[in-house]
Amino acid sequence: MGKVLLITGSTGIAEATALKAAQQGDSVFVISRDESHCRSLSARLPGSGYHACDLRDEHAVEQALKACLEKFHVIDAVFNVAGISGRQFGDGPLHECSTEGWEITFDTNVKSMFLVCRGALRHWLGSGTPGTVLNMSSVLAFSPQAQHFATHAYAASKGAIISMSRAMAAYYATHKIRVNVIAPALVRTPMSARAQSNQELLDFIAHKQPLSGGMLEAGDVAETVLFLLGEQSRHITGQVVSVDGGWGVSG
């Protein structure tokens, strides 16, 4: 019997995971800011649901979770994917990083995840049911790269996600609630469009991610996501799983 999976985000890794989850019989509920993306993805997922909202808005997140519960009555697992690169808002090396870039990056990447996790945890604790959370981080949280990826607010936000997730895992394990983190390297998604159009970056990634021969595909990451959300990983919590094509061990 499939589970009810709530996914934040509607493109890239979120999209690939939603499609693979539906193929294996899971019911999917998508939450994302862009209603057209939500609607388009949901149309490809039999029996799915969606709710478009700003995940940085406390009330909006509460309404989104309520919509999921009204449709499916339960939430078995949450995959928090939605996030941004703050480069367009002024993220960069710390001495150049704008206050706006820092705040928008943290609000979008960390506050949104906090709000979704809090809502899911309140549901599971209130109903006395187990649950699973998988939060999206990045190799840049612990394996920085100065030449091409000096976005320090982004790296700090992804590090905060790891710390929050591990603290959650320790606290909620006795309630049969698991919390893990997935930390991909560079993946071919809409967020990596800058790298995809830059030959110097593509050459660098081909060296930095030798197992992949370049960028990872979103579907490659989705395979690991579904393992970490599924029954086969039921004894795993508090872990950071890096899907990086060799990034962390390549100079």
Residue 66 sits in a domain whose CATH number is 3.40.50.720
Give the rounded percent of residues in the chain with a pLDDT score beyond 90: 94
Whether residue 98 lies inside any domain: the answer is: yes
Tell me which amino acid residue 215 is. Answer: M
Whether residue 110 lies inside any domain: the answer is: yes
Q: Which residues contact 249 (CB under 8 A, 6 or more apart)?
A: none
**Residue 132 DSSP SS3:** strand
Residues spanned by the domain of 89: 4-245
Task: Compute the average pLDDT of residues 104-131.
Answer: 98
Whether residue 250 lies inside any domain: the answer is: no
Whether residue 123 lies inside any domain: the answer is: yes
pLDDT at residue 214 is higher than 90: yes
Supply the pTM of this predicted model. Answer: 0.96
What residue ranges in the chain does DSSP mark as E strands? Answer: 4-8, 27-32, 49-52, 77-80, 131-136, 177-184, 187-188, 216-217, 240-243
Nearest to 5 by CA among 90, 129, 132: 132
Residues 192-206 pLDDT 10s: 877 788 899 999 999
pLDDT at residue 22 is higher than 90: yes
Give the rounded percent of residues in the chain with a pLDDT score beyond 70: 100
Whether residue 189 lies inside any domain: the answer is: yes
Say what the pLDDT of residue 1 is.
63
Nearest to 78 by CA among 69, 86, 88: 69
